[in-house]
Amino acid sequence: MKKKQMSLTKKSVCLFTIISFLLVPLISLADKQDQKILIVYYSRSGNTKLICETLQKNLDAAAFEVKDKEDRSGTLGFLGAAYDVILDRHTTIEPGKIDLSPYSHIIIASPVWNWKLSTPIHTLLETHNFTGKKVFLVTTANIDIKKYEAFGNEAPFVKRFLKDYLRGKKKDSQSFAKGNGGEFLGHYHFATQEKTSEQIVEDALKVIDKIRKQLSS
Ligand SMILES: Cc1cc2nc3c(=O)[nH]c(=O)nc-3n(C[C@H](O)[C@H](O)[C@H](O)COP(=O)(O)O)c2cc1C
């Protein structure tokens, strides 16, 4: 009788293991099919746009370029951008509202301005609700964040800033991380200084698999 019970337990364990093995690929396939990615980006001079277009093609995503009503071109535009970002000001973005509802995953991409997210993306974060969304952040700047690591604790301040920003520790991001808080999946940074368009696209292609993995996590 005991022997019979033992073999029944063994059989159930075997059956459970086989079913689990069969189900795992099916579940991850279903996950992928449920994944609808939207890339929302702002780009003043084209670097972030180039990266986002590359990501869009390779991640099978939709993409949306946010436009700033302020003229940011030329030296005056640069100075205005620097001034606005230093003062944590907002701007008028077009369109004012993006329908995020069809998407499960939102990639937000921004150039870094004065070691903050650009003003149009700052406004986007404040005016959209990311609840229930999985959010991934992409930034571009002249230099690589890692270059600051040589400066000790003060060094990776950009990384810390972005983390704080997304976790709502910064005053101006409270609505994003608390009320509008999506689930933060990760961040990837691209250094763009002195790079040709081809090199920027190459850099983006190199990390497609990494980003894809992080999106599925
Ligand atoms: C107002 C302003 C401030 C910037 N501040 C920084 C900075 O703090 N650190 C940096 O490495 N690059 C900085 N940059 C450079 C941009 O982040 C970089 O060129 C970026 O790739 C531009 O992206 P875009 O072409 O999509 O606009 C700044 C650019 C502007 C316009």
Amino acid (1-letter code) at residue 179: G
Cα of 3 to ligand 1 centre, how many Å? Answer: 72
Domain 35-216 sits in which CATH superfamily? Flavodoxin domain (3.40.50.360)
Q: Which atom of ligand 1 is nearest to the CA of 51?
A: 26
Cα 163 off chain centre by: 12
Atom of ligand 1 minimally distant from the CA of 142: 11
Pocket test for ligand 1, best of 71, 112, 144, 148 (most atoms within 8 A of CB): 112
Nearest CA to ligand 1 atom 4: 113
Element housing 13 (H / E)? helix 2-34
Interatomic CA distance for residues 198 and 217, integer angstroms: 30
pLDDT digits (tens, 9 = 90+) for 137-193: 898 999 876 665 555 444 445 555 666 655 555 554 444 444 466 787 877 889 999
- CB-hemisphere CA count at 13 Å for 155? 10
pLDDT in tens, 101-125: 999 999 999 998 887 889 999 899 8
